[in-house]
Structure 1
């Protein structure tokens, strides 16, 4: 460091009170090399923090988490019943293994109003905070987006399927609710097959029972969902939106 300074800057008689070394002449200013280096490091760190914040904000925006669930997390999910605690614990564990780099699928099925969307968005927010690329979408909206790809310039069904394949985690909500048209359901299944082929995990949320879901997906997709490991959670408690308001949303 001192050799480099002596080649580029002329040392002066003044000393830095903090570092006890000679200052150098840099243009009209006399500066301490160590102070200058610390300032550069600080500026670089602040720049990197700014870049990281921008990337994080872009990832959150791209995840398309519903406004109602922008603040849904594990800590504000109510656990008044054993089933709720089990669902919460499984989602926390799923997030942990995803952060650790392990890839497995997750299916959460059961009654409406039991907190499935809340927990799935809590998973999304947890992973996004760790720099993991997540996308939340309903099965109907995804099918419509792929089906309408031909209307957009420079787009195609294959390109749309690829977009939904490239996310580190796809959270597919409301499977089996508004995607009953045979052609639209085939598009959803194409994405699930594509993600399996790419080794990408999927979180599937549905009001169907597990038996109904297995039949709807078919033997081939059901088998593929289990290949890399599958967590199954059934949510069979009361609708939290009605009556006492207990549970998740």
Structure 2
């Protein structure tokens, strides 16, 4: 500190009288350096977080449309959306100590996918593994296991069961076959047994007697 102060004094003596120094004391210079270091550190952290997100997006199922979704840019236009946003934020904050699943229901355009993607994006930044997948894609992958795809049905079920958070989209969009219901229920049951939560997105009005969504009834339910 003394050396810095001496340096500042010498520099001030060398400056023309009409030039005002940016820093009058060594303490001011050190404070500025510390501030700039914090700014650079924050910028580097943001860059690293962005790179991490880019590496994981290819494996997360988060489509380009939703890769920038966050809680901050979610548009709230009604009380139901405000309630859903609040529960989504709480869900992320309590994720490590909470195995509850969630359901977002509502008509198209109410922001279900945005909130689900925001949850997943934030969890990705916190080092969690996530996957968003539609029922149709699950069933397509299941059918591929019958065609010598190199992945067995059991392996696929394990993969879907092992991510920290699985979000199943388009629940109830199409007429569900008995086989489809069995597969979805198997996935939810395996995840519940492993204490891993499952999120569900549906355009239908969720009822407590729903055979699939009802398996997540212990978690938060947020209508859109």
Please indicate the TM-score interval, normalised by the length of the shorter structure.
0.7 to 0.9
Asked if the contact 1:62/1:135 (under 8 Å) is kept, the reply is yes
2:34 is matched with none
Over 3 Å counting, the alpha-carbon distance change for 1:158 and 1:116 in structure 2 is same
SS state of the match for residue 136, structure 1? strand
Aligned to 2:216: 225
Aligned partners of 2:53, 2:66: CA distance in 1, in Å? 17
8 A Cα contact 1:140 1:179, kept in partner: no
Whether 1:129 aligns to 2:125 is yes
Deviation at 1:149, TM superposition (A): 1.3
**Structure 1 residue 172: deviation in Å?**
0.6
Shift of 1:185: 2.6
CA–CA separation in structure 1 for the residues paired with 2:54 and 2:143: 29
- Are residue 79 (structure 1) and residue 76 (structure 2) matched? yes
Q: Which consecutive unaligned segments of at least 5 residues does structure 1 have?
A: 1-48, 236-249
Q: Is 1:164 aligned to residue 160 of structure 2?
A: yes
CA distance in structure 1 between the partners assigned to 2:50 and 2:107 by the alignment: 37
Give the TM-score, by structure 2 length.
0.73
Structure 1 match to 2:61: 64
For each residue in 1:184-223, what CA deviation from the matched residue of structure 2 results, as whole angstroms up to 9, or x when unmatched? 2321221111111111100111112121x63232xxx73x
Q: Is 1:216 matched with 2:211?
A: yes
Q: Which residue of 2 aligns with 1:92?
A: 89
Structure 1 position 54, deviation (Å):
6.2
Matches within 5 A, 1:102-117: 102-117=98-113
Structure 1 distance, partners of 2:52, 2:107, is 36
Contact 2:103 2:216 in 1 (8 A): no
Q: Residue 30 of structure 1 aligns with which residue?
A: none
Can you list the C-alpha shifts for 1:142-161, whole angstroms capped at 9, x where unaligned? 12212321224432111111
Distance 1:159 1:73 in 2: 32
The residue matched to 1:174 in structure 2 has which SS? strand
**In structure 1, C-alpha distance between the alignment counterparts of 2:56 and 2:100, rounded to whole Å:** 21
Total equivalences in the alignment: 182
| Corresponding residue SS for 1:216 | coil
Name the structure where strand makes up a greater proportion of residues: 1
Alpha carbon RMSD of aligned pairs, Å?
A: 2.6
Q: TM-score, normalised by structure 1?
A: 0.66
Structure with the higher helix share, 1 or 2: 2
Give the deviation of 1:104 after TM superposition: 1.1
1:201 maps to 197
Moved beyond 4 Å, runs of 4+: 49-56
Deviation at 1:91, TM superposition (A): 0.6
- Answer whether contact 1:73 1:121 (CA < 8 A) is retained: yes
Match of 2:186 in 1: 190
Say if 2:172 and 2:204, in contact at 8 Å, map to a contact too: yes
Summarize the alignment of residues 46-65 of structure 1 with structure 2, pairs less than 5 Å apart. Answer: 56-65=53-62
